[in-house]
Every structure is written in structure tokens, then in C-alpha cells.
Amino acid sequence: MAETKKTTIVLFSGDYDKAMAAYIIANGAAAYDHEVTIFHTFWGLNALRKDEPIQTKKGFMEKMFGKMMPRGADKMGLSKMNFAGMGPKMIKGVMKKHNAMPLPDLIEMAQEQGVKLVACTMTMDLLGLQQEELLDGLDYAGVAAYLADAEEGNVNLFI
Amino acid sequence: MAETKKTTIVLFSGDYDKAMAAYIIANGAAAYDHEVTIFHTFWGLNALRKDEPIQTKKGFMEKMFGKMMPRGADKMGLSKMNFAGMGPKMIKGVMKKHNAMPLPDLIEMAQEQGVKLVACTMTMDLLGLQQEELLDGLDYAGVAAYLADAEEGNVNLFI
Amino acid sequence: MAETKKTTIVLFSGDYDKAMAAYIIANGAAAYDHEVTIFHTFWGLNALRKDEPIQTKKGFMEKMFGKMMPRGADKMGLSKMNFAGMGPKMIKGVMKKHNAMPLPDLIEMAQEQGVKLVACTMTMDLLGLQQEELLDGLDYAGVAAYLADAEEGNVNLFI
């Protein structure tokens, strides 16, 4: 019997286009029966935020970060040609035209395919993000759990 | 007999310096007889554009993208200290002084060494890039082909 | 006896947050007895600069680069929300509050744990950086040495 292949992605970036690339690779790998983990850290956590404001108790700095960072996948900017938000509109326009899945749908698909979505607890602390602000069905872990997955991985990417 | 080692690089970035790093690693790996694939997606496709304008039939958005994106490797900007184009001039100046190969030469060398240069067809569609606008001798494929190479790879990088 | 696992990281980025991610992964892997190498190239070399100015003989371009690039880990900016230097202050503020290690301490810890810190000699030449300007205890090597480590690596990342 063939061993299950493993794919891990560290999603560090908070850019719409980079997160799209991460989720397209993850969904592809899951379709080929890989065990796939996306470990969201730093700005990559923003892809997992719910889009509505959530009441939480936070310190001043944590509130500031919470306000300045995009609330969820659909609000993220582009790594190139962002043009103060025009770029994402253009990209989403051509994506619709070509029937490409927008990022929130890619994330939902990943969850349905059993891709393990992990939120890095250490950077959640730093950026003041709390579990209630993030999507349901996530795992919460640190770098040790990531390394345990990655050292058995066939494809390990940092995006 | 030793098995052939495989190296795959996803070139997502459209920055001159990052593309240089990708091609230096690729050429190095090819020199050590690795089978090397560079999978160009999103802005990384710009490294493969021909530098002259090509007549094509395109929609409005696709024309806009075509005009705003750099036409070929030599026109790409830096990820840091770009200074509205001054940065690339400075880097190219010191590269010449130190006899380092400029990016277009690194790409040519990769082709001569048999590095497989792949253009991601899905993002070509999104950005409205057509085969006639890209260099000769490329492969055209999607994420499935990338994963098939990467899962047997010893070194898999996302740049 | 189990074979020693190997982890390699190419640190290309000169951003404080990305370098933090690189060093947190490296320190984690070293704690799990991996052999770890961080190969610093392009802007990633700035993490290894001493923070005081060092007298060296340089050409004009090399002096310019030397002045414009951050002198050491503590002076690096963020990849997102840098806000002309406010961002790093905010991040360092919350890091202190949460007892997270600042980057210079993460680098020292890596050296103590035996992580091999390599400076890429080719890009040192390009950016005009000399050995006296960099931290003590580094290795100096090129892409061939990196590939020799990476092709035996279990986890190979480009950051």
C-alpha cells in the first residue's frame, strides 16, 4: 500500500493573491489524496478572520492591530498592483469572468476536502487575535506541531 | 545507480531580485544534474514575457493588465529599494562590475541546461497573457502537473 | 539509530517579521535535534550586520547600498504595516508584553543551538558587504553549498 503523501504550507502572507496560490496548491494536493496542512502565521491569520466585527476584550495595541488588519479573506490586498484597493477589484473581476473561485470559496473548499487549517497561537497572541474572531473548525497550534507535520512532508512551502 | 534528484520552484513573484534568486538556484541545481522545474504563476509569468509588444486580441481588463505589468525579465522591479526604477539600475550596475549574469541571461542559461520552464495556464487566463507573448520553448500546465513534479522533489521552493 | 533530520531555510527577505518567522522555525527545528542551516542571501544578509558602523574600503555604489540598507536585525522594517517605522515599534511593544523574543535574541539563540548561519558570498559582493561588517561565527558559502544541504533536507523553505 502506498504511503499517504503530505503537503504543508506556511501561510505567512496576508496578500489576496499569495493566499489564493496557497489555497489552490492545497486544494490540488488534497484532490490527489495528500494530507494537507496550512499553518497560518502573522498576516496569513487574516485569511481566517470572520468578516463581521466580534466583541472581544482587548488591550489598546491589540485593538489597533485588529482595526488595521483586513477582516477576512475577501478584504485582503494584492502583493503587486494593489492601487489602493483597485487591484483586488480588477483581479476579482477577471476571476469572475474566467469562473475562477474567489478566495473565500477556496477556503471553504479546503475545509470540505479535509485540509487541516491551523492558526499559529503565538502570532495570534502578538496580533491580539482571539478564537472567536476566526472561522470555525480550525486547529490551534504552535511551531512544534508545524514541524512534526513538515518533517514528514513531501512538499513543504513557505508563502 | 543513483536516482535523479528533483528540484522544483514555484516562481510567484514578479520582482527582479527574487526571480534572480530562483534562477540562480535552478541553474545551480541543473549543474548538479538535478531535474529542475520552474513553475511560473501570477506575477512570475512576467519574467517569461517577450520584450516587444505582440499583437493580440484581448478584452479591456486583459489589455490593462498587459500594459501595467513589466514586459519581460529586464523590466522587472526590485522587492526592496526599488526607488521608482533606480534600484534595478543600481543592482544591474554592481552586477556588471562583479560579472554577475543579468536575469535574461540566467533564463537563457536555464533553457540551455534543460530546466523545464512552465507557465501556469490558469493565471495566464486571469492576467490575459497569451502564448505568443511569452518566450519560445515553454511548457504550459496547471497545478496538477506542478504537484506531480513536486511530490518527487528533494528541494521544493515557493519564491 | 534514526537519521538526523535536516532543515534548510533560504532567508532572502530583509523584513523583521519574515526573519522572525525564519528564526522561530529554525530554533524550533534545532530544539528537535534537526541539523539546521539558514542561508542568508540578498536583503536577508542585513539580519547579520553588526549594528555599529565598520570602517571598510568600498566603491561608491557599495557605500550607497551600505547606507540605505538596515544595519542589523533590530533596524529592519516590517513586510506589512511598516508605517515608516511605527509598525516595528508596535510589534516590538506587543512582543515585549507577551515575552516573545526579539529578533537579535532569536539569532543569538540560533547560534547557541548550533544552527549554521551562512552568508551568501555572491550577494555579499553585489551589495558590497564585507566579513568585518557581519556577526562573528558565520559560514561563508555559495549556492552549491546550499544545494548540498537542501537536497538532503526534510524541510526546505524560501523566506
Q: pLDDT (tens digit, 9 = 90+) per residue, B21-41?
A: 999 999 999 999 999 999 999
Q: Please count the structural domains in chain C.
A: 1
Backbone φ, ψ for residue C15 (5° rounding): -90, 140
- The reply to whether A1 falls in a domain is no
Element (H, E) at C145: helix C143-150
Q: How far apart are CA A46 and CA A72, in angstroms?
A: 5
- The reply to whether C2 falls in a domain is no
CB-closest option in A12, A14, A144 to C28: A144
- The reply to whether B151 falls in a domain is yes
CB-closest option in B21, B24, B155 to C150: B155
Helix (H, G, I), strand (E, B) or coil at B127: helix
- For residue range A109-134, what is the model confidence (pLDDT) as tens digits? 999 999 999 999 999 999 999 999 99
- The reply to whether B1 falls in a domain is no
Produce one character per residue of C102-135: b if its CB has 16 or more CB atoms within 10 Å, e if not. Answer: ebeebbebbeeeebbbbbbbebbbbbbbeeebbb
- The reply to whether C148 falls in a domain is no
**For C39-67, what is the mean pLDDT?**
92
The pLDDT value recorded for residue B86 is 86
The pLDDT value recorded for residue A59 is 87
H helices, E strands: number in chain A: 6, 5
Whether the Cβ atoms of residue B143 and residue A23 lie closer than 8 Å to each other: no
Q: How far apart are CA C159 and CA C154, in angstroms?
A: 16
Flag residues of chain A having pLDDT under 50: 1
Please tell me the distance in Å from C79's CA to the nearest CA on chain B. Answer: 10
Distances in Å between the alpha carbon of A88 and those of A20, A21, B41? 12, 14, 17
* Residue A147 near chain C (CB below 8 Å): yes
Q: Which of residues 61-120 of A touch B (CB under 8 A)?
A: 79-81, 90-91, 93-95, 97-98, 100
Q: How far apart are CA C117 and CA A112, in angstroms?
A: 41
CB-closest option in B14, B62, B151 to A154: B151
Whether the Cβ atoms of residue A111 and residue A31 lie closer than 8 Å to each other: no
ipTM: 0.94
The pLDDT value recorded for residue B2 is 64
Chain C residues whose CB is inside 8 A of the A158 CB are 21, 157-159
Please tell me the distance in Å from B137's CA to the nearest CA on chain A. Answer: 25
Please tell me the distance in Å from B23's CA to the nearest CA on chain C. Answer: 11
Boundaries of domain holding A41: 6-49+57-158
- For residue range B8-24, what is the model confidence (pLDDT) as tens digits? 999 999 999 999 999 99
Sheet of A6-11: strands edge to edge? A139-141, A116-120, A35-40, A6-11, A155-158
- The reply to whether B126 falls in a domain is yes
Interface test with B, best of C11, C39, C155, C158 (most B CBs within 10 A): C158
Q: How far apart are CA C76 and CA B81, in angstroms?
A: 13
Longest dimension (CA), chain A: 55
- The reply to whether C86 falls in a domain is yes
- The reply to whether C33 falls in a domain is yes
Q: Which residue from C minimizes the CA distance to B94?
A: C126
Which is it for strands C116-120 and C139-141: parallel, antiparallel or unpaired? parallel
Q: Which residues contact C99 (CB under 8 A, 6 or more apart)?
A: none
Backbone φ, ψ for residue C84 (5° rounding): 50, 40
CB-closest option in C69, C150, C158 to B159: C158
Q: How far apart are CA A12 and CA A47, in angstroms?
A: 10
For the CA atoms of chain A, what is the radius of gyration?
16
CATH value at residue B146:
3.40.1260.10
Q: How far apart are CA B151 and CA A60, in angstroms?
A: 45
Cβ contacts from B onto C, under 8 A: 70
